[in-house]
Amino acid sequence: MLYQTENEMTTTAIDDRDVQHGVVVAGPSSTLTIPGIIVSEIVSAIAMTTPVLRIEADLGAHPTVRLDRAPSLAAAHVAHSNANVVRHKAPMGARTRKSAFRFWIGPEVHTAIAYAWPGIDNSWIRQFVDVAKAAGASTTVICASLPESNQARAVTLVDTIYKADLVIVGDASEAKELASMFGSSGPSVESLRALSLGGRSGRAPRGVITAFLQKEDINSLAVLLAAFDAIPDARISGHKLQVVMRFASREVLSIVANSYHASHVELIGDDISSSDLQELCDLSSALSMADPVHDSRAFSTAMDCGIATVVLANSKRPPVGRGYVGGLLANHSQPASVHVALSHALRLSDLGFPSPTAWCELADRLGATQNDTNRADAVVSPRSRDNVNLKRSLEAVRFLESTT
């Protein structure tokens, strides 16, 4: 097994599991970023039916919000369901990284998948594709389609991904543009909704938060209002908090009236229909809900709309949020935690997140969930790789890098 410490590449003994993986997925790894969470979901979907070797390629800072103090719900679930996944960390240096790719991607690998996020350092993808093709693997680059800007578009990666066999993006128009740029000799290009983060149609004005609380849940209401009141006066303009909660006591009205930003808070105490719920979601930038049950109608509607949603819970792994990239977790009793999570959700409001079923659709499209029966003779014995020789070659590469 190869792994990277802070300053060096280390080689240790390997076992059968490390070299028998027919599917390799490479991409960002940090669960504090949206790209890293998405790769985790893709790997998790594929790993449901086949072992996966995941290569974590983090060469620079990601432009998306770091989810410090507001962990991802999806990541919390994935952390408990990765028994079918082996992880390796790609080295930072180009030469040692290529050597590592060659070691991890051998004749037994039939499918090599790279995840690209426009706007970050994707230079490792060209090496990854070259090594995978040399090993005889089918190569696919899957690329996120983001809200349009000159830097955050898949077409900016043409020179990086043109050697792949297949390129899949989220936006159909972007796929058409890429196909035109590749020409007849380039890879096939397709679009799939799992890779679309181009925003929601009829996007709501920024700053509108809708919170769903349990009946007479005064404690959650107090925490939520304290988090909302922490928004500075200079930034409160344009913000609005809608609280949906059935209540009978006048104490609820008093708590809202005495909040610092009371003029920006609306209390909705009536029962809401499915159409009302849909309208609230359509007109909201972000959602929040306290202790939703596994079949929560509000959370399901939020996923369908692709809205960033903050779950207030005491549990580190609530019953909702599995597979939903737009789900964030906040401490039920800590206003600071809720404030940070809501801030993240508002910053992510331009992204329309795919539903959990989208990852299974992507895994099916990649064909990585099917057993490869045509290449059984290509699987090599783990002992056929000489760890000692590999270690020496990596040391030689590091020596050359230091002298140059």
Task: Please tell me whether residues 175 and 255 are part of one structural domain.
Answer: no
When divided into structural domains, the chain yields a total of 2
Within this chain, do residues 379 and 360 fall inside the same structural domain, yes or no? yes
pLDDT(16) > 60:
no
Domain boundary among 347, 377, 394: 347
Does residue 278 share a domain with residue 167? Answer: no
Domain shared by 372 and 306, yes or no: no
For residues 172 and 222, membership in a common domain is answered with: no
> In this model, does residue 317 exceed pLDDT 50?
yes
170 and 276 belong to one structural domain: no
Mean pLDDT of 42-68: 83
Tens digits of per-residue pLDDT, 321-358? 888 999 999 998 899 999 999 999 998 888 889 988 99
pLDDT(387) > 70: no
Categorize the per-residue pLDDT at 20 as very low, low, confident or very high, splitting at 50, 70 and 90. Answer: low
Beta-carbon contacts of 134 under 8 Å, excluding residues fewer than 6 positions away, are: none
pTM for the complete prediction?
0.81
Please, what's the largest Cα pairwise distance for the chain? 76
**86/142 same-domain check:** yes
The confidence score (pLDDT) of residue 120 equals: 87
> Is pLDDT of 382 > 50?
no
Residue 218 resides in a domain: yes
Kindly give, in sequence order, each residue whose CB lies less than 8 Å from that of residue 376, ignoring residues fewer than 6 positions away: none
Q: Looking at the structure, tell me whether residues 165 and 309 fall in a common domain.
A: no
The mean pLDDT value for 46-64 works out to 83
> Given this model, what pLDDT does residue 395 score?
43
Sign for the pseudo-dihedral over CA of 268, 274, 278, 279: negative
**pLDDT over 60 (residue 306):** yes
Question: Domain check: are 131 and 23 in the same one?
Answer: yes
Q: Mean per-residue pLDDT for 62-71?
A: 72
Residue 202, domain member (yes or no): no
- Tens-digit pLDDT profile for residues 289-298: 999 988 899 9
Residues 121 and 27 in one domain: yes
Compute φ and ψ for 309, nearest 5 degrees. -130, 130
Gap between the Cα atoms of 188 and 179, Å rounded: 7
17: pLDDT strictly greater than 90: no
Average pLDDT, the chain: 82
* Mean pLDDT score, 212-222: 95
Task: Give the structural domain span for 322.
Answer: 208-347
